[in-house]
Amino acid sequence: KAGVTQTPRYLIKTRGQQVTLSCSPISGHRSVSWYQQTPGQGLQFLFEYFSETQRNKGNFPGRFSGRQFSNSRSEMNVSTLELGDSALYLCASSSSQETQYFGPGTRLLVL
């Protein structure tokens, strides 16, 4: 099976802009989770989608949103970007929400 893919891999934006990141899970996986990773901050959980429904949400402001499509592909949107949003955004898919299979990540730089 193909692994989890994320696009784009790198992105440069300026403050105030918005961005949309995409994640394609492993075929057959219906759960997709999103994480923000910054140096020294580990994996900060953003949200999890299952069958097009947000099932779990972390402690991030409403500027961070997501959605999942019927083919389980997921998108994450960040509006009104701030400098502090610069990070590696990882998505992970799972068939059971036990083992997480991570994508390569999208590295976002906000200038």
Partner 1 sequence: GENVEQHPSTLSVQEGDSAVIKCTYSDSASNYFPWYKQELGKRPQLIIDIRSNVGEKKDQRIAVTLNKTAKHFSLHITETQPEDSAVYFCAASLLSGGYQKVTFGTGTKLQVIP
**Which stretches of the chain bind partner 1, using CB under 8 A?**
33, 35, 41-43, 45, 50, 55-56, 90, 96-105
Measured torsion, CA atoms of residues 75, 16, 60, 101, in degrees rounded to the nearest 10: 30
Cβ distance to partner 1 smaller for residue 13 or 107: 107
86: tokens are 């610069």
User: Tell me, what DSSP letter sits at residue 57?
Assistant: E
Minimum CB separation from partner 1 for residue 18, in Å? Answer: 25
Residue closer to partner 1 (CB basis): 80 or 95: 95
Of the pair 20, 37, the CB lying nearest partner 1 is at 37
Contacts of 9 (CB under 8 A, 6+ apart): 104, 105, 106, 107
- Say how many C-beta atoms besides its own lie within 10 A of residue 32's C-beta: 27
Min separation Cβ 11 and partner 1, Å: 16
Nearest-approach distance from CB 52 to partner 1, in angstroms: 15
